[in-house]
């Protein structure tokens, strides 16, 4: 449910697109080094997976920050603001919880 709610937000940033501008599967976010992406998650149960690069992630109400490297993921268990910064050029997107 949360993935469907955020689908429009993924389009608000620079998505990773395949040939001819078509998107196959879930849209992914591509960030250059130092770039920041944020969104307000309305419900929990969403998992973000880092497909390449290195991400720093912080969540509203969570006292700790998370660093996610390529192949890693983080589950967003509740609602709130999520801020992601690319420590190296990175690509990430939603995955199954």
Domain ranges across the chain: 2-95
Token pair, residue 3, equals 């993935």
CA–CA dist 78, 89 (Å, integer): 27
pTM metric for this prediction: 0.72
What whole-number percentage of the chain has pLDDT above 90? 52
Q: Which backbone phi and psi does 20 adopt, to 5 degrees? A: 65, 20
Tens of pLDDT, residue by residue over 46-78, are: 899 999 999 999 999 889 999 999 999 999 888
> First CA to last CA across the chain, in angstroms?
11
CB 10 within 8 A of CB 51: no
CATH architecture of 2-95: Sandwich (2.60)
């Amino acid at each position: 449910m949360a993935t469907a709610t955020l689908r429009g937000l993924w389009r608000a940033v620079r998505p990773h697109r395949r040939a001819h501008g078509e998107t196959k599967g879930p849209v992914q976010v591509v960030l250059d080094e130092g770039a920041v992406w944020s969104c307000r998650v309305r419900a929990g149960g969403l998992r973000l997976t880092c497909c390449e690069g290195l991400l720093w992630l912080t969540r509203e109400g969570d006292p700790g920050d998370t660093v996610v490297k390529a192949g890693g993921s983080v589950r967003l268990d509740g609602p709130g603001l999520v801020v992601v910064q690319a420590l190296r050029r990175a690509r990430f997107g939603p995955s199954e919880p």
